[in-house]
Amino acid sequence: MRVYKTEKNLQTILDQLDNSCGMLDNALTTLGFMSGLPESIKQGIDRIDFSTIVGLKNEVEMLIEKMKGEI
């Protein structure tokens, strides 16, 4: 399946990345408040790095702005 680089498609991706960040943050926060979790889950929470997702989200946002002629 081919998906074209349109402003609308990029906005959809941006929205999905934004929602993903929020949902993942909420899930990890809730897990962090749970008691009695195995150590492996606690360590897994600490290993997740949001910066990659946020960086990708920022790049998509800049691409949208560039397509609009705002940059």
- Cβ-defined contacts of 19-22 (< 8 Å, 24+): 20/53, 21/50, 21/53, 21/54, 21/57
Among the listed residues 52, 49, 54, 23, the one whose alpha carbon sits nearest the alpha carbon of residue 31: 23
Rounded Cα gap, residues 32 and 65, in angstroms? 36
Distance, in Å, from the CA atom of 53 to the CA atom of 50, rounded to the nearest integer, reads 5
Domain ranges of the chain: 7-66
What's the predicted TM-score (pTM) here? 0.81
pLDDT of amino acid 34: 94
* 71 confidence band (pLDDT: 50, 70, 90): low
> Tens digit of pLDDT for each residue in 15-66?
999 999 999 999 999 998 999 999 999 899 989 988 999 999 999 999 999 9
